[in-house]
Copies of this chain bind each other. A is one copy, B any other.
Amino acid sequence: MTKATTPAPQVRGPSDHDVRDQIVDAATEYFSLYGFEKTTVSDLAKAIGFSKAYIYKFFDSKQAIGEVICGNRLHVIMTAVDEAVADVPSAPERLRRLFKTLVEAGSQLFFQDSKLYDIARMSASESWPSAQAYEAHIKELVLQIVRMGREAGDFERKTPLDETVSAIYWVLRPYINPLLLQHNLEKAADAAPQLSNLILRSLAP
């Protein structure tokens, strides 16, 4: 009922917003079965019962659909990570949880939806906005944790803050970036706690 107050170009039928969601949901299911890279918008249109032209009315390209799917998935991981660290009073423990949750959520995406992992790989290799936003979010979380630890006296303050944050991000990156994580999955469970310990030793006051 909010439609009357917004200047919608189309008033008949479902709102544009609903149609976009419908296309994204159907596309997510389709790509999770048949992959993203080797399918076309025509394939997708046929499978989900929309015309290709109708899909193009809402999305410029296959990548634009992939962007939304990717953004949705990364949003799930970001929420999981945010929840894992929220309300944890100690900065060192936040850092451990951040690392652990990132590895778990990334592995889950890889193993449960291996066909959708295509999209994650592409988003990383082509640096899509969703991938950039994800990276920025993780860096921001690291910054908050380091600041918190410095204020509480848990972490050293000699190293410039941006260098500390950036270096920690380099340690995390192989477990965040889908192109790297795919080759790290077997090792991640062993590596993550050891790397958390190493980071925390590097932060010792």
Report A's interface with B, CB cutoff 8 A: 125, 156, 159, 163, 166-168, 170-171, 173-174, 177, 179-180, 183-184, 187, 191, 194-195, 197-199, 201-204
Contacts and interface: CB of A to CB of B under 8 A. Distances in A.
Nearest to A171: B171
A182 to B, nearest CB: 9
- How often does this chain occur in the complex, in copies? 2
Contact of A195 (B167, B194, B201): B167
Contacts of A179: 183
B170 A180 contact: no
Most buried by B among A173, A180, A203: A180
Nearest to A182: B179
Nearest to A177: B183
Contacts of A170: 187, 191, 194-195, 198
Contacts of A191: 170, 173
- Enumerate the 6 nearest inter-chain pairs by beta-carbon distance, A residue then B residue, closest first: A202-B202, A201-B202, A167-B198, A167-B194, A179-B183, A174-B174
Contacts of A156: 201
A187 B172 CA distance: 13
Given A198-B199, A198-B202, A199-B198, A174 B167 contact: no
Contacts of A166: 194
Nearest to A192: B170
